């Protein structure tokens, strides 16, 4: 294990009792997969299924969870909104006016969500006798006849090499984006993995879909739900994730379906079918997922999991099914080398962060009232905790620049935004700095050491202001992600290292929650929340005037000193700051002249 990975046994203290109590009944995915073995007694981390959840993760024994799954309420019919009725009536008018004879079917997720009583704006129309583009052209032709503005048609071409077998047309219907695609059947030529796509029947199309719960149709023409696989509604009621055709063939057709199955299982807290799990763990399927599917599509699926209700469940399944290193690809060489059971350790970190955040409440991600900002903090907290064990692991890029491995995974493996990678690095760095602050709030034993680190020959900080200055500097770097960084610090840096044998998980979570609250209150009571918006009492130009110099690196150093002075003297005035600077210079000049 790389040095400095988990200082003082951090995360182990938090989760070890949890592992002991919950490991046996909570790893069904691992038990059912013969190709994966549980780590031996020497492994630092063992597999664990989180039993709580920030957004309502299901808890309890497998029997209790199965009972929850059996009680899934599925409606008998689809209830349309007023907007949906208007859209469908318009499409039927097009069919009747041109005598197309087309059966219009809403496919997949919209039907599933409607039967579960959930709203959905994702309307995909499957056509039985024409392509999506041809139908969209008819819609525009009808709009012109009735004096309405025609809409643009977007066409997404098929790409068999990336498992995108169907051409999709998209257009706005009554201000709602609708996708149109023809029903499909597939014929495979000998020695070819790429099928020949043809317009097929609804039953053929249903059996070619990823999951039975996504193979349902709503027939717009006769206002009815169609279950051509004969088990879509039943699997929905049972809470079962299963493929219509044999799972391995389904996954080899489109390996991204493995991740979709995991995502839907996590979203609805459904059970992955045993055969599906075996197929997902198959080496050929994993190889095809890594080589046949673009990193962008993989990254998009992972991001959907991270933004959904039960991200920890999804990461556990990815790990348990042996998919971690396929999904999160690493650079060829890193320093130190990627350690054994890295996947287990990474997922254990995200579980611990999830449980602690759930215990604390929504304040972890609150810093302002914008829900989108809170969702973004939650999302990046999950990525940061997942890659926390890799925070001291680097690689050299093409320019021989030292780059964090987490940056490679986020940018190159998942193809997420550069800003995501930068924020994760900043969060992890800030969490290590918080680790220096937390002990100071419990004892003043290290204040002198920290005071020396913050001061120089021109700046002296009052002892009772050292904590405020240090905390303020951390917050100015991490800004409104400081609560996320604090959470990760609380997980990784315990106050005692031998408590794992004496504390059960609930007690340990309570202690860490209390520690988080103490630090949070310390920061807010000192009016530091928002300190990154603090306007410097003196800007660079003013400092040059006081120092009587034109610029250079000296000004940057004094700007940092002024910031520390301002944090130490929150009520200090401009004149007081200038007087301090002059006195500091004078003292320094006297010392230099005497030597």
In tens, the pLDDT along 188-204 reads 444 444 455 567 899 99
pLDDT digits (tens, 9 = 90+) for 345-388: 999 999 999 999 999 987 888 765 566 788 999 999 999 999 99
Average pLDDT over residues 403-431: 96
**Dihedral sign of CA atoms 227, 233, 234, 240 in order:** positive
Nearest residue to 14 via CA among 432, 372, 350, 400 = 350
Query: Which residues, in sequence order, are CB contacts of 289 under 8 Å at separation 6+?
Result: 251, 255, 256, 258, 259, 298, 323, 326, 327
Q: What CA–CA distance (Å, rounded) separates 145 from 284?
A: 53
Pair of tokens at residue 478: 């991490």
Q: What CA–CA distance (Å, rounded) separates 363 from 567?
A: 25
Residues 319, 47 contacting (CB under 8 angstroms): yes
User: How far are the Cα atoms of 111, 181, 221, 564 from residue 119, in angstroms, in the given order?
Assistant: 10, 22, 21, 52
Pair of tokens at residue 300: 């998009």
Q: What CA–CA distance (Å, rounded) separates 280 from 264?
A: 14
Average pLDDT over residues 91-96: 97
Given this model, what pLDDT does residue 157 score?
64
pLDDT at 407 over 90: yes
Residues 171, 154 contacting (CB under 8 angstroms): yes
pLDDT digits (tens, 9 = 90+) for 323-350: 999 999 999 999 999 888 999 999 999 9
Sorting pLDDT into bands at 50, 70 and 90, what band is 8? Answer: very low
Residues 424, 383 contacting (CB under 8 angstroms): yes
Task: Of 82-96, 160-174, 523-537, give the lowest mean pLDDT range.
Answer: 160-174
Query: Which residues, in sequence order, are CB contacts of 574 under 8 Å at separation 6+?
Result: 537, 538, 542
pTM of the model: 0.81
Residues in the chain: 595
CB hemisphere CA count around 496 (13 angstroms): 9
Residues 197, 186 contacting (CB under 8 angstroms): yes
């Amino acid at each position: 294990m790389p040095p400095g990975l988990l200082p003082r046994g951090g995360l182990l203290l938090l989760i070890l009792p949890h592992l002991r109590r919950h490991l046996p009944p909570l790893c069904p995915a691992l038990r059912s997969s013969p190709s994966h073995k549980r780590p031996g007694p020497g492994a630092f981390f063992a597999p664990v299924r989180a039993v709580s959840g920030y957004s309502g993760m299901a808890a309890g024994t497998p029997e209790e969870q199965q009972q929850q799954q059996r009680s899934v309420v599925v409606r008998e019919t689809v209830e349309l909104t007023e907007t949906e009725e208007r859209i469908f009536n318009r499409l039927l008018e097009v069919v009747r006016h041109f005598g197309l004879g087309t059966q219009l079917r809403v496919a997949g997720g919209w039907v599933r969500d409607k039967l579960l009583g959930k709203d959905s704006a994702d309307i995909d129309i499957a056509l039985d006798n024409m392509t999506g583009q041809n139908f969209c052209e008819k819609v525009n032709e009808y709009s012109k006849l009735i004096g309405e503005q025609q809409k643009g048609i977007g066409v997404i071409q098929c790409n068999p090499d990336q498992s995108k077998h169907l051409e999709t047309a998209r257009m706005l219907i009554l201000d709602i984006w609708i996708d149109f695609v023809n029903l499909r059947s597939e014929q495979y030529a000998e020695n070819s993995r790429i099928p020949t796509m043809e317009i097929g029947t609804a039953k053929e199309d249903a059996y070619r879909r990823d999951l039975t719960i996504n193979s349902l149709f709503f027939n717009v023409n006769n206002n009815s739900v169609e279950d051509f696989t004969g088990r879509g509604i039943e699997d929905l009621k049972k809470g079962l994730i299963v493929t219509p055709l044999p799972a391995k063939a389904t996954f080899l057709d489109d390996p991204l379906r493995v991740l979709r199955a995991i995502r839907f299982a996590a979203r609805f807290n459904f059970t992955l079918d045993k055969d599906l799990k075996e197929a997902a763990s198959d080496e050929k399927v994993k190889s095809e997922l890594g080589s046949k599917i673009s990193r962008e599509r993989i990254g998009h699926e992972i991001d959907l999991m991270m933004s959904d209700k039960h991200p920890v469940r999804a990461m556990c399944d990815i790990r348990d099914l042996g998919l971690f290193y396929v999904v999160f690809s690493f650079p060829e060489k890193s320093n130190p080398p990627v350690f054994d059971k890295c996947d287990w350790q990474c997922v254990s970190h995200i579980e611990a962060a999830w449980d602690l955040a759930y215990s604390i409440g929504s304040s972890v991600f609150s810093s302002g009232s914008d829900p989108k900002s809170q969702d973004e903090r939650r999302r990046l907290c999950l990525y940061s905790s997942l890659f926390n064990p890799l925070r001291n692991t680097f690689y050299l890029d093409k320019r021989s620049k030292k780059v964090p491995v987490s940056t490679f995974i986020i940018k190159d493996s998942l193809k997420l935004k550069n800003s995501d990678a930068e924020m994760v690095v900043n969060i992890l760095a800030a969490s290590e700095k918080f680790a220096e602050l937390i002990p100071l709030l419990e004892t003043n034993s290290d204040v002198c050491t920290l005071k020396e680190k913050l001061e120089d020959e021109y700046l002296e900080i009052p002892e009772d202001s050292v904590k405020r200055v240090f905390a303020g500097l951390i917050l100015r770097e991490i800004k409104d992600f400081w609560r996320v960084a604090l959470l990760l610090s609380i997980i990784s840096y315990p106050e005692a290292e031998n408590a794992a044998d004496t504390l059960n998980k609930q007690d340990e979570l309570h202690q860490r929650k209390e520690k988080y609250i103490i630090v949070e209150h310390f920061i807010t009571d000192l009016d530091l929340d928002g300190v990154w918006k603090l306007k410097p009492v003196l800007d660079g130009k003013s400092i040059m005037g006081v120092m009587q110099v034109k610029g250079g690196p000296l000004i940057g150093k004094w700007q940092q000193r002024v910031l520390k002075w301002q944090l130490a003297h929150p009520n200090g005035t401009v004149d007081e700051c200038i007087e301090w600077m002059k006195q500091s210079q004078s003292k320094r000049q006297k010392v230099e002249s005497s030597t």
